[in-house]
Structure 1
Amino acid sequence: MPLTDTAIRNAKPKDKAYKVADSQGLYLLVNPGGSKLWRVKYRINGTERKLSLGAYPEITLAEARTARDAARKQLAHAVDPNAAKRQARIEASIRAGNTFASVADELIEKKGREGRTAATLEKQRWLLKLLGQDFGKRPVADITPQELLHELKKHERRGRLETAKQLRAFAGQVFRYAAATARAERDPAQLLQGALISPTVKHFAAITDTAQFGALLRAIDDYQGDPAVMYALKLTPHVFQRPGEIRQMEWVEIDFNKAVWTIPEAKMKMRQPHVVPLSKQALALLREMRGLSGTGRYVFPSVRTKARPISDNTVNAALRRMGYSKDQMTAHGFRTSASSLLNESGKWNPDAIERALAHMVPGIIRRIYNQSAYWAERVEMAQWWSNHLDQMKDIEIQ
């Protein structure tokens, strides 16, 4: 006779455990301690097995019957319910171990082994931290688009539109890596395209007026402070490479005899090595700096320790102390200034200028051609540009 809730409640413990049968193999095991446990008896391959379904009243009679029916359906397809339950438990354990944070850490470590710059890896660790501990502890396969959007909207509400955009892109990388390594089936971040407010594109502030740029160069010559910062400021206009590449410049990268600075691909944004011709003025500045830091690794070491270069905001901070606001000039702005003034001169092939700036040109064949065809022009341009910088210092603002 099938069980009822009343019969279950009236089943009292005895000196020994006993069973109260329901139907189709389902029964309730009443233990001497008072616990009441659901079990299903079944046979597979001629062997009798028992499947645990949980305890009453946490698992109701109706829920126990539903679980029994599900087990019988598995048996109909030659699946052992106990084996399926064990596999589900293993998969749940794996999902719990494969949290978003653990997968993200693994991805960042992989990128480090592939040669990504320290600055890139540091930025990604910062983005992971911004997503929060609670989000990071969630199994990566269980995170929904709504859950990710909730985290991104927190930053959007605070006006951090660019941060929210970067977080979505980073999360997408993690989800795609999880999918590629069989730990997730989809990328929830991809479904959120268009869900966030697009940030207004901001360009790095730069001075492109010849007279005003000359005034800036005079101010740099007059700047007093840590020698590493002083010389980094003076060298930056001559080589006009990215601030991170300049601050991480190492002495082994400088060939004084050939007058070149070779930046390894690990430090380059475009992941390709870049060779910079050095003018006589640039070489003179580096020789002066070699007398100050030549025994160490970095050309521009930190004031705190020679084991690290100056920080990524040091040159910008120096510009602020010189009276230039972030809306007037930035460390990255020297690239814009050089690009604008070199193109404005009309003396140089635009492709040679783009190559000097280490901008990626489309097409593998064109990139190979640009690396060789414009070298002589770039060497000549580097010297002309340094001479032009000296001339600009003499131009007074009207």
Structure 2
Amino acid sequence: MSLTARQCETAKCPPNQNTLVLFDGQGLSLRITRKTNNKLWLWQYSYNKKRNQMSIGSYNDFSLAEARAERDRLSKILQSGINPKIAKETQVTKEIEASGHTLAHLYKLATDEKIKDPRNPWSTPHIKRISFSWKHLKPLYNYPISDISKKHLREILIEIHNKKPPTCQSVKNLLSVIYTYAVNNEIYPTNLVAQFAKDPILRKPRSDEVEKHPPIPADKLGATYYHISQYKGLVTRHFLFCSGYTSLRVGSLITAQWKNYNEAEGILYIAKELVKNNKAIRCPVPKQMAKMFKEILKVQKTLNKNWNEDCYVFSEDGLKHIARDTPNVKLKYIIERSKLGFQAVAHGNRTVCEDLWEVQRFTDSAINIQQDHSSQTGNQVRDRYKGKDDFFEERSKMIQWTADHIDKEIKNYKKKHIK
């Protein structure tokens, strides 16, 4: 049965499957990936008595009608005795050569190369972040790279910087990837972005110039977590505590699924594509966090009769994890409602943990791995001489100490202020 435009628009992959394939007819199908919810048009055909499959494009670029039209166009190529996949690749190559190496074409070539890099391919979250940066360069999309002057490029970057400095740095990083590709392939002689290294506005900011995510003040730890403990939203409440225990990035923790949690070993496994340091994949789970997981699991199994290990941990029913901005919104609400007199965000928990761990004299390697810093020692040369030890035992003690410390601070606060 043929697909409808409505089906294509609303279709989602079930939580118990990795992919969902919807068939339209004449070899055309729409594949939906659960983890990213990406929708991709595929076409199956036979050439030289062998079954082949090729991508037509994403659902964002091709509507159902457009995908069918492209299928029909490729079918005519097949009927002429030419392999449509080879014909399409040749066509793309000719378009690129005819484009005069516009920034848009070089962006596609450079990012494709990074995505397919067998040694260090870009992760799905990173590709998504790159796409956001790319949107800021829209005024330059159709410019041949040879026609983009340093002055023009600087004007575009200054405009982005004036709106949001961190975004400007991300855009610069993407441009550097594009220019590096152009230089390596002898399309353009120099990386213009490198020439902004000492620019008074566009240079990379020093660490003391970067606006840090506001943390919970050390002397407000007990008060803050006491009021968090009184918040009625179980999932959000537990998320804020677990974030405070582990120092994990919000994105790494919020997307955790039950299949990532090994209760017997006390480990929460972080997806490889979400970490900067491969030694940070195993995150120790303190006893307080394990208890919270049990409470969430009990609620989910009550609400969701089809619960399975693909369900999300930080979710009411397991089907959809809490929104990424929820921890910050709720923490701000709790702090303001309790009149604690400061501002903080969930990401600031990383600063709190790092400060506490340094005072307790845990080793730098254990701290850097738990914080998922790309460098274990702070020096990439020294990193090469380190073994495979992920300091899991010390990190377990470190995180359990943090959970116990927060409990102690809550207890002290209640003694002084709660009657």
Tell me the TM-score normalized by structure 2: 0.63
Cα distance between partner residues in 2 of 1:326 and 1:269: 35
- Partners of 1:196 and 1:303 lie apart in 2 by 49
Q: 1:142 to 1:300 in 2, by over 3 A?
A: farther
Structure 1 SS opposite 2:125 = helix
The residue matched to 2:192 in structure 1 has which SS?
A: coil
Q: Which residue of 2 aligns with 1:328?
A: 343
Q: 1:95 to 1:320 in 2, by over 3 A?
A: farther
Following the alignment from structure 2 to structure 1, what is the Cα–Cα distance between the partners of residues 100 and 258? Answer: 44
Aligned equivalent of 1:101: 104
Amino acid at match of 2:387: I
Measured in 2, the distance between the counterparts of 1:338 and 1:301 equals: 21
Work out whether 1:195 is the aligned partner of 2:212: no
Q: Deviation per CA, 1:59-88: give whole Å up to 9, x if none.
A: xxxxxxxxxxxxxxxxxxxxxxxxxxxxxx
> 2:39 aligns to what?
none
Question: Which of 302, 311, 326 is the matching residue for 1:314?
Answer: 326
Per the alignment, do residues 138 and 304 of structure 1 end up closer, same or farther by CA in structure 2, a change over 3 Å counting? Answer: farther
Alignment of 1:1-398 (within 5 A): 94=97, 96=99, 98-113=101-116, 114-132=120-138, 134-156=139-161, 158-197=162-201, 200-209=209-218, 211-225=219-233, 227-270=234-277, 273-291=280-298, 292=300, 295=308, 297-300=310-313, 306=319, 309-323=321-335, 328-346=343-361, 348-359=362-373, 360=375, 361=377, 362=379, 363-368=382-387, 370-371=389-390, 374-396=391-413
Q: Is the 8 A contact 1:289 1:299 kept in 2?
A: no
Structure 2 portions without partners, runs of 5+: 1-92, 302-306
CA shift for structure 1 position 115: 4.5
**Preserved contact between residue 249 and residue 347 of structure 2 (Cα < 8 Å):** yes
Query: Counterpart amino acid of 2:124?
Result: A
Q: Give the superposition deviation at 1:182.
A: 4.4
Equivalent-residue separation in structure 2 for 1:368 and 1:349 (angstroms): 15
2:248/2:350 contact within 8 Å kept: yes
The verdict on how the C-alpha distance between 1:314 and 1:182 changes in structure 2, with shifts beyond 3 A counting, is farther
Aligned residues with identical type, % of pairs: 18
How far does residue 213 in structure 1 lie from its aligned partner after superposition? 0.7
Query: Superposition RMSD on alpha carbons, in Å?
Result: 3.2
Letter in structure 2 aligned against 1:315:
P
Q: CA deviation at 1:145?
A: 1.6
Change (3 A) 1:95 1:273: farther
Within 2, Cα distance between the matches of 1:256 and 1:377? 19
Does the Cα contact within 8 Å between 1:95 and 1:183 map onto a contact in 2?
no
Q: Distance in 2 between matches of 1:295 and 1:326?
A: 42
Distance 1:304 1:394, change over 3 A: closer
- Distance change (3 Å), C-alpha of 1:295 and 1:111: farther
**8 Å CA contact 1:253, 1:261 repeated in 2:** yes
Q: Pick closer, same or farther for the CA change 1:101–1:395 going to 2, 3 Å.
A: farther
- Partner of 1:393, secondary structure, is helix
Residue by residue over 1:266-300, the C-alpha shift from the partner in whole angstroms, topping out at 9 and shown as x without a partner, is: 11134555211111111111222233175263534
Q: Cα 1:284–1:102, aligned 2, differ >3 Å: closer, same or farther?
A: farther
Distance 1:305 1:207, change over 3 A: closer
Between structure 1 and structure 2, the one with the greater Rg is: 1
Q: Name the CA shift for 1:277/1:339 in 2 (closer, same or farther; >3 Å).
A: same
Question: Which one-letter code corresponds to 2:365 in the other structure?
Answer: D
Distance 1:111 1:188, change over 3 A: same
1:261 match: secondary structure: strand
Distance in 1 between residues matched to 2:250 and 2:95, nearest whole Å: 46
How many residues matched?
301
8 Å CA contact 2:240–2:327 kept in 1: the answer is yes
Q: Does the C-alpha gap of structure 1 residues 358 and 141 become closer, same or farther in structure 2, counting only changes over 3 Å? A: same
Q: Is the 8 A contact 1:116 1:267 kept in 2?
A: no
Query: Residue 122 of structure 1: CA displacement?
Result: 2.0
Q: Which residue of 2 aligns with 1:70?
A: none
Closer/same/farther in 2, CA of residues 369 and 213 from structure 1, 3 Å limit: same
Kindly indicate whether the alpha-carbon contact (under 8 Å) linking 2:125 and 2:273 is maintained by their aligned counterparts in 1. Answer: no
Q: Deviations over 1:110-134 (max 9, x none)?
A: 44455534332222111110112x3
Distance 1:93 1:296, change over 3 A: closer
Q: Which runs of 5+ in 1 are unaligned?
A: 1-89
Q: Deviations over 1:238-289 (max 9, x none)?
A: 2221111111212222111111122233111345552111111111112222
